[in-house]
Structure 1
Amino acid sequence: MMAVALKVDVDTYRGTLEGVPALLRLFDEYQVRATFLFSLGPDHTGRALRRIFRPGFLQKVRRTSVASNYGLKTLMYGVLLPGPHIGRKAGDVMRSVAEAGHEVGIHCYDHVRWQDYVAHKDEQWTRRELDLAAETFQEVFGHAATTHGAAGWQLNAHTLKWEEEAGLKYASDVRGKSAFYPVLQGIEPKCPQIPTTLPTLDELIGRDGITEENVHEYIYAESQHILPNGHVYTLHAELEGMQLLSTMEKLLVMWKGFEGTVQAVGDTYDSLDLATLPKHQIGWGELEGRSGHLAMQSIAVD
Structure 2
Amino acid sequence: MTRNKVCIRIDIDTVRDTQVLPVVLEILDSFDASATFFVTTGEDMTFKNYKNYINPLKLLQKKAIQQHGVKQMLRGILYKQQVQKSSNVQLILENNHELGLHGYHHYNWMNTLQQKSQEEITEWINKGSELFEDAYGFKPLSFASPGFATSPQFLEALEDFNFDYSSDFRGKEAFYPCINERKLSTLQLPVAEKSFGELEFEGISNDAIYNIMKNGLDNAHNFFVFYMHPSYEPILKRDLLVRVLEYITTSDKFETTTMHQLAKHIKRKVLDENPANI
Q: Which TM-score band applies after superposition, normalised by the shorter structure?
A: 0.7 to 0.9
Q: How does 1:218-237 map to 2 (within 5 A)?
A: 218-227=212-221, 229-237=222-230
Indicate yes or no: 2:246 matched with 1:263: no
Deviation at 1:8, TM superposition (A): 0.6
Q: In structure 1, what residue type is equivalent to 2:81?
A: P
In the alignment, what sits opposite 2:78?
81
Flag the 1:33–1:122 CA change in 2: closer, same or farther, 3 A. same
CA distance in 1, matches of 2:47, 2:179: 32
Measured against aligned partners, the alpha-carbon deviations of 1:156-209 in whole angstroms (never above 9, x if no partner) come to: 22322332221211000111110110124676421110100122112211545x
- Tell me, yes or no, if the aligned pair for 1:161 and 1:187 is still in contact at 8 Å: no
CA distance in 1, matches of 2:177, 2:68: 33
Flag the 1:129–1:278 CA change in 2: closer, same or farther, 3 A. same
In the alignment, what sits opposite 1:291?
none
Deviation at 1:39, TM superposition (A): 1.2
Deviation at 1:254, TM superposition (A): 0.9
CA-atom RMSD in angstroms: 2.6
* More displaced stretch, 153-162 vs 163-172: 153-162
Deviation at 1:243, TM superposition (A): 2.2
Unaligned runs of 5+ in 1: 280-302
CA distance in 1, matches of 2:181, 2:124: 22
Indicate yes or no: 2:237 matched with 1:251: no
Count of residues in Structure 1 that have an aligned counterpart in Structure 2:
269
Q: In structure 1, what residue type is equivalent to 2:227?
A: T
Deviation at 1:3, TM superposition (A): 2.5
Whichever structure has more helix as a proportion of its residues is 2
Indicate yes or no: 2:130 matched with 1:165: no
- Tell me, yes or no, if the aligned pair for 2:119 and 2:157 is still in contact at 8 Å: no
TM-score (norm 2): 0.87
CA distance in 1, matches of 2:112, 2:179: 18
For residue 17 of structure 1, the aligned residue among 13, 16, 19 is 19
Deviation at 1:144, TM superposition (A): 0.8
In the alignment, what sits opposite 1:240?
233
* More displaced stretch, 167-176 vs 154-163: 154-163
How high is the sequence identity, in percent, across the aligned residues? 21
Deviation at 1:111, TM superposition (A): 1.0
Deviation at 1:241, TM superposition (A): 3.0
Stretches of 4+ aligned residues off by more than 6 angstroms = none
TM-score (norm 1): 0.80
Flag the 1:46–1:160 CA change in 2: closer, same or farther, 3 A. same
Measured against aligned partners, the alpha-carbon deviations of 1:242-278 in whole angstroms (never above 9, x if no partner) come to: 2223322111101112222122111211211244362
* More displaced stretch, 113-122 vs 261-270: 261-270
Deviation at 1:123, TM superposition (A): 2.1
- Tell me, yes or no, if the aligned pair for 1:4 and 1:262 is still in contact at 8 Å: yes
Q: In structure 1, what residue type is equivalent to 2:30?
A: E
Deviation at 1:221, TM superposition (A): 2.3
- Tell me, yes or no, if the aligned pair for 1:40 and 1:87 is still in contact at 8 Å: yes
Flag the 1:116–1:66 CA change in 2: closer, same or farther, 3 A. same
Name the SS for the 1:133 alignment partner: helix
CA distance in 1, matches of 2:154, 2:59: 29
